[in-house]
Amino acid sequence: MESELKDLNSKPAKIQQPDTTHDDTSSKDDRPLLKADSSSTAAAAANIHELEKKFAAYVRNDVYGTMGRGELPLKEKIMLGISLVTLLPLRIVFGMSLVVVYYLICRICTMFSAPNQEEEEEGYAHLGGWRRAVIVRSGRFLSRSLLFVVGFYWITETHKDSANTKENSKTEGTHQLEEQERPGAIVSNHVSYLDILYHMSSSFPSFVAKRSVAKIPLVGLISKCLGCVYVQRESKSSDFKGVAGVVTDRVREAHHNGSAPMMLLFPEGTTTNGDYLLSFKTGAFLAGAPVVPVILRYPYQRFSPAWDSITGVRHVVFLLCQFVNHMEVMHLPTYYPSQQEKDDPKLYANNVRRLMATEGNLIMSDIGLAEKRIYHAALNAAINPGS
């Protein structure tokens, strides 16, 4: 991708500079940044302002304010009240109906079939023939239908020109071009749980999920049909292969086997407010296979669909009460790594991140999940000083 990297030099990505006025928290991830001060509302507000400067990637800037607990204008209160008694119950009923329908389809298609029982995997992605076709096609259709029910009536999609990618491939020979025809993974920025629904409707990939997801009613079977790789952090046995090893194998398999589902990976490891791009973990790049970068944005006027620093229940309720939600998707050309990038996954990850930040006009930030937890704990302490 030499030509793409040259282009990036003339259009540098925005980078959030670290705040040197704060102490280093790398060795104190689970300690709150501030103590609760119940004697002064002004002091609490000042503390929140300081937090927002340091943890800008997780700050909510919508009408609903910090953690979705801001003081709403009268007009917004009226609109929210009307939606709570009309729009919310309708969307819950229709949404759950779609989930149940797809669960029944998956149940029928997996009858008399044994799930794959490999380490960190327990799914039905290995199914072929009409069963797999029905699971994939109905899954894509119903995922898009669910997004429609939630309020995403239109999704704006753009596909970047792949001329540079094709040119680079030709210079490396026909044999390598043939190997590079199919990527092994989709790498996407992570803004909300809605990201997964979009990718299901677009390409129906496999993804990484918590082990507990496999046991959730309805959703568990659906995740197995997607071929999810389950995270089991508590396992420390000597023969435990690990998530990274399983993901690498799956990426390689998808790259070489046209019938295998591609992996969807969020290399940031957590969600942001959509304006930033965090540091990339190397899991998606260890296999050295080509990847498809995808950038998601959720433009808003009232409530932001980003799931950053707001509780899940509160987010779902406010999202369903918003009549129209917006999503913009940018598909970048398949990124074919150079030999140097294949040998150095960190370099590969950084170059893809830089490309995505530049093309998506995102600000690069080096904070991560540990800082997000600190931010959440500090916000709770500032907003609920007595708890």
Region 108-118: mean pLDDT is: 79
Higher pLDDT, 190 or 19: 190
DSSP per-residue letters across 126-154: T--HHHHHHHHHHHHHHHHHHHHHHT---
Q: Which residue has the higher pLDDT, 269 or 233?
A: 269
pLDDT tens track for 64-87: 988 888 889 999 999 999 999 999
Q: How many CB atoms lie within 10 A of CB 304?
A: 26
What's the confidence (pLDDT) of residue 149? 97
pLDDT at site 320: 97
- Is pLDDT at 336 greater than 90 in this prediction? yes
Global pTM value: 0.82
* Region 255-278 average pLDDT: 92
| Model pLDDT, residue 103 | 96
Return the closest-CA partner of residue 64 out of 328, 310, 325.
Answer: 310
Q: What is the mean pLDDT of residues 353-375?
A: 93
Q: What is the mean pLDDT of residues 24-43?
A: 42
pLDDT tens readout for residues 2-16: 445 555 555 556 666
How high is the pLDDT of residue 232?
67
Express as a percent the part of the chain with pLDDT over 90: 54
- What span, in angstroms and rounded, lies between the C-alpha atoms of 176 and 190? 31
Please say if the pLDDT value at position 53 is more than 80: yes
Mean pLDDT (whole number) for 348-356? 97
Predicted local distance difference test score (pLDDT) of residue 70: 86
Q: Is the pLDDT of residue 39 over 50?
A: no
Residue 321 binned pLDDT confidence (cut-offs 50, 70, 90)? very high
The DSSP element (H or E) to which 296 belongs, if any, is strand 291-297
Location of structure tokens 């002091």: 43
Residues 6 or more apart whose Cβ sits within 8 Å of residue 30: 373, 374
Q: Which residue has the higher pLDDT, 46 or 235?
A: 46
Confidence of residue 28 (pLDDT cuts 50, 70, 90): very low
Helices (H), 270-344: 312-320, 339-343
Quick: pLDDT tens for 153-191. 999 999 987 654 443 444 444 445 544 568 999 999 999
Window from 95-99, 148-152, 322-326, 371-375 with minimum mean pLDDT: 371-375
Q: What are phi and psi of 218, to 5 degrees?
A: 70, -60
Checking if the pLDDT of 342 tops 70, the result is yes
